[in-house]
Structure 1
Amino acid sequence: MLQAVQIAPQGPEFSPMVMGYWRLMEWQMSPQQLTGFIEQHVELGITTVDHADIYGGYQCEAAFGEALRLQPSLRGRLQLVTKCGIATTANPEHKLGHYRTDAQHIRQSAENSLRHFHTDHLELLLIHRPDPLMDADEVAEAFIQLHQSGKVKHFGVSNFTPAQFSLLQSRLPFTLATNQVEISPIHQELLLDGTLDQCQQIRIRPMAWSCLGRGEIFTQPQYQALREELERVREEIAAENIEQVIYAWILALPSRPLPIIGSGKIERVRSAAAAASLSLSRQQWFRIRKAALGYDVP
């Protein structure tokens, strides 16, 4: 069973792997089936769940909340993470997709999430994407108000550059808890652009989304060499499958990311959780890097 870890100097404590609910509506689970699925991954020690207001065309939060209503005791075993700041055309009021990080929208989005989840607080609220019209003072105003009211315990960002992260942090009296970013063998830019270095510097743990490269690692012909290298490493470390090798590759990063698992199949969730016990040598790690990028280190 996975054990909770503290992800920032001022908290919170999360499971070292996170259950992602972006595709919840595609899983076509009844509320009863979803309740059973939540119970199963909680038993594995995966107690932190990742959402966003826009997921599933603005439906995922409410669907998850209905499952929690069937088993209210689950709420106390979970850490709810959600995001706001993107306005999509799934809402008929939006003529085009855009970003919204004004204080009123942040507060209203948080209130909507609380209502959807049938709870009185969120463990973590993130700004979903950098907004070119973001006023850092206005975001900070909303964060501080939500924090003082007890409705949101911690705050963070998603997909922010180090400069964008530092700007918002400069306006806050508490530490931003995480930066949720895309990390996979086929998306390595953040490993060297300062994003993960910043996480190490201020001792926060990033959350890693799309660890499996949106599934492209397993299907696209340009990643055949990567699949072959992952298979060789799988044999060497006695992993069950190459998915575990990919998670182990991400977990080896010194910023200690929390991988987000995006599958609605408990067997794959269980397999992902088992990857936490695997380790790669430095040579194995760099072999995977080279196979993904197609070239050696300079």
Structure 2
Amino acid sequence: MKKIKLGNSDLQVGEISLGCMRMASLSNEEAAHVIETALEVGVHLFDHADIYGGGKSEEVFADAVGMTPSVREKMILQTKCGIRKGFFDFSKEHILNSVDGSLQRLKTDYIDILLLHRPDALMEPEEVAEAFSQLKESGKVRHFGVSNQNPMQIELLKKYLDVDLIVNQLQLSIMHTPMIDAGLNVNMQNDPSIVRDSGVLEYCRLNNITIQPWSPFQYGMIKGSFVGNADFPEVNAKLQEMAEKYGVTDSTIAIAWLLRHPAKMQPVVGTMNPERLKVIAAASGIELTREEWYELYRSAGNVLP
């Protein structure tokens, strides 16, 4: 698998990562098979969050790999914090406690990347900065990032931080493209021209923040997969056409579409099916043409100005 550099860090990672949200439902043997397959195909960044399975996803992961220092050095572990029942929490106390919990569940003494999961309207950036500094100095966390944040939210954080933010996780798929739509419909009065995220795509590129697209097979706000969905005949016909051309699956092409973007994104795929993970990983070996990228974009119902 091709590798990319995450943000301004020294981390070189496979250009596809594995989201472990659904791992809580697996047995240790099933989880081990998924993780082994991921490593075999070049996927070695594993994305967690303290809320996935109420913490069980992290526990199953660690138990499945039989976490030891030699096992740990083969992978990049990323986790997120900030979502609590009914509210968001970027307080220093919660960030520190959340990291300690993840370290305990993952059976490791450090997290490679910690992300703030969803924006907290009551965020006090000075508190976040104190938490990050303490985590960095203690060696508990090596790198930091955010998830679902816009440029001004990131700028506010950066004013107080003494560490780089290297990742921003954002929802993006062929069927969910607001950050792309606005950039194509400049100075128009149609709905796609509305800038919903303050130009976050261009901002991240300008500031060397790697975008990690989440739910790359979903439409709407996690309403379901569009791949193979009869409600979306045009995009599936185009996916199938290109899949046949390249000798891969439609899911492979859906990820190749994201990888074709020059922002050098790292999609987070959440499959717990080892065979499906293999075919998805094949996207790293495919480079769609410019024309094919736009054909897929239009097949999702997007009209170019």
Amino acid of the structure 1 residue aligned with 2:62: G
Deviation track 1:219-276 (CA, whole Å, cap 9, x = no partner) reads 544312111121122233x141111111110001111110112111111111111111
Retained in 2: the 8 A contact 1:68–1:117? no
Q: Contact 1:184 / 1:210 at 8 angstroms: preserved in 2?
A: yes
Matched, 1:196 2:201: yes
- Distance in 1, matches of 2:2 and 2:225, equals 30
Range moving further from structure 2, 250-259 or 221-230: 221-230
User: Is 1:57 paired with 2:54?
Assistant: yes
Give the Cα–Cα distance (whole angstroms) in 2 for the partners of residues 131 and 139 of structure 1: 11
Residue identity matched to 2:291: Q
How far, CA to CA, are the matches of 2:143 and 2:6 in structure 1? 11
After superposition, residues 22-101 of structure 1 pair within 5 angstroms as 22-26=21-25, 28-29=26-27, 31-69=28-66, 73-88=70-85, 97-101=86-90
- The match for 1:297 is 304
CA RMSD of aligned residues (A): 1.7
Partner of 1:169: 158
Is residue 205 from structure 1 mapped to residue 204 from structure 2 by the alignment? no
Cross-structure match for 2:8: 9
Query: What secondary structure, in the 3-state scheme, does the structure 2 residue paired with 1:5 have?
Result: strand
**Using the alignment, how far apart are the partners of 2:133 and 2:67 within structure 1?**
32
Pairing 1:184–2:173 present:
yes
Distance 2:31 2:227 in 1: 27
Measure the CA separation in 2 of the matches of 1:74 and 1:21: 17
Q: Confirm or deny that 1:257 pairs with 2:265.
A: yes
In 1, the alpha carbon distance for the partners of 2:8 and 2:164 equals 8
Following TM superposition, the consecutive aligned residue runs of length 4 or more in structure 1 with deviations greater than 4 angstroms are none
Q: Secondary structure at the match of 1:229?
A: helix
TM-score using structure 2 length:
0.88
| Identical residues among aligned pairs (%) | 34
Partner of 2:289: 281
Match for residue 242 of structure 1 among 234, 246, 250: 250
Q: Pick closer, same or farther for the CA change 1:70–1:254 going to 2, 3 Å.
A: closer
CA distance in structure 2 between the aligned counterparts of 1:33 and 1:295, rounded to whole angstroms = 39
Aligned-partner residue type, residue 279 of structure 1: E
Write the letter of the residue equivalent to 1:276.
S
| Residue 71 (structure 1) shift | 6.1
Name the structure 2 match of 1:233.
242
| Structure 1 position 178, deviation (Å) | 0.6
- Residue 272 of structure 1 pairs with residue 280 of structure 2: yes
Do the aligned partners of residues 235 and 39 (structure 1) sit closer, same or farther apart at CA in structure 2, a change above 3 Å counting?
A: closer
For residues 100-111 of structure 1, the aligned pairs below 5 Å read 100-111=89-100
SS in 2 for 1:172: coil
- Give 5+ residue unaligned stretches, structure 2: 184-196
3-state secondary structure, aligned to 2:108: coil
Alignment check: 8 A CA contact 1:103 1:138 kept: yes
Distance, in Å, in 2 between the alignment partners of 1:244 and 1:68 is 27
Q: Distance in 1 between matches of 2:215 and 2:247?
A: 20
* Structure 1, unpaired ranges of 5+: 89-96
The 3-state SS of whatever aligns with 1:108 is helix
| TM value normalised by structure 1 | 0.90
Amino acid at match of 1:207: Q
CA contact (8 A) 1:20 1:51 kept: yes
Cα distance in 1, alignment partners of residues 67 and 140 from structure 2: 22
Separation in structure 1 between the aligned mates of residue 9 and residue 304 of structure 2, nearest angstrom: 37
Give the equivalent residue in structure 1 for 2:101. Answer: 112
Query: In 2, distance between residues paired with 1:251 and 1:76?
Result: 26
Distance 1:32 1:244 in 2: 26
**Distance in 2 of aligned mates of 1:283 and 1:3:** 22
